Amino acid sequence: MNELKKNKDFAGPKGPVVLAIMDGIGIGKNPESDFVLQSATPNLDWLREHALYTELRAHGVAVGLPDDGDMGNSEVGHNAIGCGRVFSQGASLVGKAIESGAMFAPESVWDELIRNVINKESTLHFIGLFSDGNVHSNLNHLETMLRKAKEQGVKKARIHALIDGRDVPPTSALEYVERFETFLNEINADGSVDYCVASGGGRMNITMDRYNANWDMVRRGWDTHVKAEGRRFASMKEAIETFRKEKPGILDQDLPAFVIERNGAPVGPIVDGDSVIFFNFRGDRALEITKAFEADELTEFDRGPKPDVLYAGMMQYDGDLGVPEHYLVTPPAIDRTMSEYLSNAGIKQLAISETQKFGHMTYFFNGNNSGKFPTETWVEIPSDSCPFEEAPRMKADEITDAVVRAIESGDYRFIRLNYPNGDMVGHTGDVNAVKVAVEAVDQGIGRIIEALKKTGGILVCSADHGNADDMCELDKKTGKLVLDDEGKFKPKTAHSLNPVPAIIYDPSGEAHASLADVPNPGIANLAATCISLLGFEPPEDYVPSLVKVG
Is 283 within any annotated ligand binding site? yes
Q: At 103, which amino acid appears?
A: M
Does 232 belong to an annotated binding site? no
Domain count of the chain? 2
pLDDT of residue 317: 84
What confidence score (pLDDT) does residue 318 get? 74
> What pLDDT is attached to residue 319?
65
128 and 176, same domain (yes or no): yes
What's the whole-number mean pLDDT along residues 49-60? 97
Q: Give the structural domain span for 295.
A: 91-329
Q: What is the mean pLDDT of the chain?
A: 95
* pLDDT for position 68: 85
426 and 438 share one domain: yes
Closest by Cα among 534, 526, 549, 533 to 85: 526
Same-domain pairing of 313 and 363 = no
One of 33, 74, 343, 383 is an active-site residue; which one? 74
Of 329, 360, 393, which residue constitutes the final position of a domain? 329
pLDDT, tens only, 444-503: 999 999 999 999 999 999 999 999 999 998 887 888 888 887 888 888 888 999 999 999
Mean predicted confidence (pLDDT) in 67-85: 90
Does the annotation place 423 within a ligand binding site?
yes
Question: 222 and 278 in one domain?
Answer: yes
CATH number at residue 134: 3.40.1450.10
pLDDT (0 to 100) of residue 392: 98
Same domain, 533 and 399: yes
pTM of the model: 0.77
Model confidence over 170-194: pLDDT tens digits?
999 999 999 999 999 999 999 999 9
pLDDT, residue 320, reads 56
- The pLDDT assigned to 370 comes to 85
Alpha helices in 410-492 (DSSP H): 421-424, 431-455
Q: Read off the pLDDT of each residue in 408-433 and give the average, rounded to a whole number.
A: 97
Same domain, residue pair 469 and 491: yes
Q: Are residues 407 and 449 in the same domain?
A: yes
464 annotated to bind ligand: yes
The reported pLDDT for the residue numbered 19 is 98
207-226 residue pLDDT tens: 999 878 899 999 999 999 99
127 within 8 A of 279, measured Cβ to Cβ? yes
Model confidence at 330: pLDDT above 90? no
pLDDT over 80 at 296, yes or no: yes
Q: What is the 3-state secondary structure (H, E, C) of 191-232?
A: CCCEEEEEEEEECCCCCCCCCCCCHHHHHHHHHHHCCCCCCE
User: Comparing 307 with 484, which gets the higher pLDDT?
Assistant: 307
- Asked whether residue 282 falls in the same domain as residue 325, the answer is yes
- DSSP lists the bridge partners of residue 200 as 161, 258
Asked if residue 312 and residue 201 are part of one domain, the reply reads yes
Q: Are residues 244 and 166 in the same domain?
A: yes
447 appears as a binding residue in the annotation: no
- As a whole number of angstroms, the distance between CA 137 and CA 94 comes to 10
Backbone angles phi and psi of 81, in degrees to 5: -65, -40
74 is catalytic: yes
The last residue of a domain, from among 297, 329, 361: 329
Confirm or deny that 167 is annotated as ligand binding.
yes
Q: Choose between 500 and 550: higher pLDDT.
A: 500
The CATH number given to whatever domain includes residue 363 is 3.40.720.10
- Asked which of 275, 294, 329 is the last residue of a domain, the reply is 329
pLDDT of the residue at 48: 97
| Whether residues 431 and 484 fall in one domain | yes
Instruction: Indicate the helix (H) or strand (E) that contains 251.
Output: none
Question: What is the predicted pLDDT for the residue at 515?
Answer: 98
Amino acid at 300: E
pLDDT computed for residue 78 by the predictor: 96
The reply to whether 136 sits in an annotated binding site is yes
Residue 100 has pLDDT above 90, yes or no: yes
Residue 312: pLDDT band (50, 70, 90) is very high
User: What mean pLDDT do residues 119-140 have?
Assistant: 95
Q: Has 285 been labeled as part of a binding site?
A: yes
Question: Averaged over 336-356, what is the pLDDT?
Answer: 97
Please tell me whether residues 375 and 431 are part of one structural domain.
yes
Closest CA to 34 of 45, 42, 43, 26: 26
- 3 state SS for 343-412: HHCCCCEEEEEEHHHHHHHHHHCCCCCCCCCCCEEEEEECCCCCCHHHCCCCCHHHHHHHHHHHHHHCCC
